[in-house]
Chain A
Amino acid sequence: MIWVDLANATINGIVIGLLLALPALAVTLVFGIARFPNAATGDFMTFGAYTVVAAKSLLALPLAIGVAMACALTALLSLFFYWWVFRALVRRSPVASLIVSIGIALVVRSTITFFAGQSQYTIEVPLVRAWNFDGVRIVPTDLYIAGVAVTALVLTFCLLHLTPLGRRMRAVADNMELARASGINVGRVMITLFAIVGFYCGLGGVLIGIKAVVLPELGWELLLLLFAAVILGGIGSPLGAIIGMLVFSVSQEIASLWVGASYKIVFAFFLLLGVLLLRPQGILGKVRAVR
């Protein structure tokens, strides 16, 4: 039966990995383009999850509209903090932006707690029976979640590699000074970046809220995992962030078969250390000699 357990753990790991790939992508995009690790990413996810809870419970809106609201409002929240705070720190040390982002995370979480309290909420979706293939269980809801995440990720890659806006974003990530000297409006690129980041944090928060329960620490507790996945995949590499998150998530779920849920994250971090020993730049990170 071990292969059945392995298969179930792998499927679960892939689903969680795919939905967490959205905020991991947000982390790596901000790191690659705005050049700082955004510690507010997790709490933006929490904001997205609570927006759906509020939309369903207070406004009795359908889930789909709640999800759209969550993505839009989290994008606005992300833009607000870019415009108010991060914009002024563009030429400062990344450490300054990191510290400020931790402050923003605390502000967002405290505000959520002030209005919603410490109670746990759930984002209810219609109950459906899992498909059972000789013990290998696939829940249709998980497939929808994975489908939404994959669609969002594919759209991001199309944006980055097939559109002029994506080229501009990659150019700014590569060399901000040269980008400006090439006529690229870096401010507009940053606005687009923080809108996309907010959108994905909101969507990721809703999806993880559907899989788990919604509470004020939902995103903050995932932050270390997101940063670790980004490092594992190669800092600044969007595809690396997704692969890193999938590897991290699947390895955790498989580890839980032997070491239990409490220690599964330790196994994943050992894996991270092992990969970095062999490949310090991460799975898809590149070391380029540029003159």
Chain B
Amino acid sequence: MSLLMLEDVAAGYGDTDVVTGVNLQVGDREIVAVAGTNGAGKSTVVKAVMGLTPRLSGSVVFDGHELTRIPIEKRVSLGLSYVPQVQNTFAALTVLENLQVVERVANRSQRIKDMFDLFPALADRRRTAAGDLSGGERQQLAFARALMSSPRLSVLDEPSAALSPALTAQVFEQVRRCPEAGAAVLIVEQRARQAIEFSNRGYVMDSGRIVLTDTSANLLSNDRMAQLYLGQH
């Protein structure tokens, strides 16, 4: 049984559905990438999972729980974590406070120590306000914040946005290691080819719909799909 299952999901803002008829699954300890052109509705899909879209129909089931009936703040305790594309840290709080503020964390002080071991650059800046960090440090903090609650599924919305290639590689390496730590990953990425390379499966979106889903190997070997949707990096 899938850890996350979206069935016939339509979501959007105001009177408009940005995505329709979305069916998507993420298995336990699986990395699943969602790729597509700008405006295809990739971020709306992950926002729908987190309950952050004003309009939502269809079914979103996580670990047997129908999420559409569960308040956003309670989804953390079910094992979901989320890294938004922008404003993904609390800018006015220090690095340490960003980690302390996450709710429902067992053995918090040990978990914070684990995060500082995982992201040593953050340990040196624990008293610095997140708003004063560099882009790369802030992205690491966003990732550490999402891992604090030992999630079963991390939902990542373009974690490499505005990062240098070197920092992107670092972030992707962390994503790649999530299944070892017990977490599945649903990742939306502009650098679709790179994301699909380290994923188990991928979904390709266009104009608010999923147009293709397959294993990463098959997606990457499909020349026409690769040319149209996956780009060169």
Chain B contacts for A181, CB-based, 8 A: 50, 52, 72-73, 75-76, 81-82, 84
Q: Is B131 a contact partner of A290 (Cβ separation < 8 A)?
A: yes
Q: How far is the CB of B151 from chain A (nearest CB, A)?
A: 11
A171 to B91 Cα, complex, angstroms = 9
A94 to B88 Cα, complex, angstroms = 23
- Chain A, range 135-180, C-beta contacts under 8 Å to B: 164, 167-168, 170-171, 173-175, 177-180
Indicate if A291 sits at the interface (CB-CB under 8 A): yes
- Tell me what chain A mostly uses at the interface: helix, strand, loop, or mixed: helix
A40 to B81 Cα, complex, angstroms = 38
Q: Is B52 a contact partner of A177 (Cβ separation < 8 A)?
A: yes
Indicate if B103 sits at the interface (CB-CB under 8 A): yes
- Interface-facing stretch out of B94-102, B195-203, B207-215: B94-102
Chain A contacts for B84, CB-based, 8 A: 177-178, 181
A164 to B96 Cα, complex, angstroms = 12
A122 to B88 Cα, complex, angstroms = 52
Q: How far is the CB of A268 from chain B (nearest CB, A)?
A: 29
Indicate if B218 sits at the interface (CB-CB under 8 A): no
Q: How far is the CB of A158 from chain B (nearest CB, A)?
A: 15
Q: Is A186 a contact partner of B162 (Cβ separation < 8 A)?
A: no
Per-position 1/0 for B67-98, Cβ under 8 A of A: 00001111111000110101111111100010
Q: Which residue of A lies closest to B85 (CB)?
A: A291
Chain B contacts for A164, CB-based, 8 A: 100-101
Indicate if B190 sits at the interface (CB-CB under 8 A): no
Q: Is B93 a contact partner of A167 (Cβ separation < 8 A)?
A: yes
Chain A contacts for B91, CB-based, 8 A: 174-175, 288, 290
Q: How far is the CB of B103 from chain A (nearest CB, A)?
A: 3
Q: Is B73 a contact partner of A178 (Cβ separation < 8 A)?
A: no
Q: Is A182 a contact partner of B52 (Cβ separation < 8 A)?
A: no
A180 to B82 Cα, complex, angstroms = 10
Q: Is B88 a contact partner of A178 (Cβ separation < 8 A)?
A: yes
Indicate if B21 sits at the interface (CB-CB under 8 A): no
A167 to B90 Cα, complex, angstroms = 10
A178 to B98 Cα, complex, angstroms = 11
User: For B91, B100, B138, which residue has the most chain A Cβ atoms within 10 angstroms?
Assistant: B91
Indicate if B113 sits at the interface (CB-CB under 8 A): no
Q: Is A184 a contact partner of B101 (Cβ separation < 8 A)?
A: yes
Q: How far is the CB of B167 from chain A (nearest CB, A)?
A: 13
Q: Is A291 a contact partner of B72 (Cβ separation < 8 A)?
A: no
Q: Which residue of A lies closest to B129 (CB)?
A: A288
Q: Is B100 a contact partner of A182 (Cβ separation < 8 A)?
A: no
Partner of A182, one of B71, B102, B138, B161: B102
A288 to B149 Cα, complex, angstroms = 28
Indicate if B152 sits at the interface (CB-CB under 8 A): no
Chain A contacts for B193, CB-based, 8 A: none
Chain A contacts for B52, CB-based, 8 A: 177, 181
Q: Is B93 a contact partner of A170 (Cβ separation < 8 A)?
A: yes
Q: How far is the CB of A187 from chain B (nearest CB, A)?
A: 9
Indicate if A185 sits at the interface (CB-CB under 8 A): yes
Indicate if B179 sits at the interface (CB-CB under 8 A): no
- What residues of chain B have their CB less than 8 Å away from a CB belonging to chain A? 50, 52, 71-77, 81-82, 84, 86-93, 97, 100-104, 131, 135, 138, 145, 149, 161-162
Q: A167-B97, A291-B161 are in contact. List 16 more A-B contacts (CB 8 A).
A: A170-B90, A170-B93, A170-B97, A174-B92, A174-B93, A175-B90, A177-B87, A178-B87, A179-B101, A182-B103, A183-B73, A286-B131, A288-B92, A290-B87, A291-B86, A291-B162
Can you name 14 A-B residue pairings with CB atoms under 8 Å? A164-B101, A168-B101, A170-B90, A170-B92, A175-B90, A182-B102, A182-B145, A183-B73, A183-B103, A183-B104, A286-B92, A290-B91, A291-B86, A291-B161
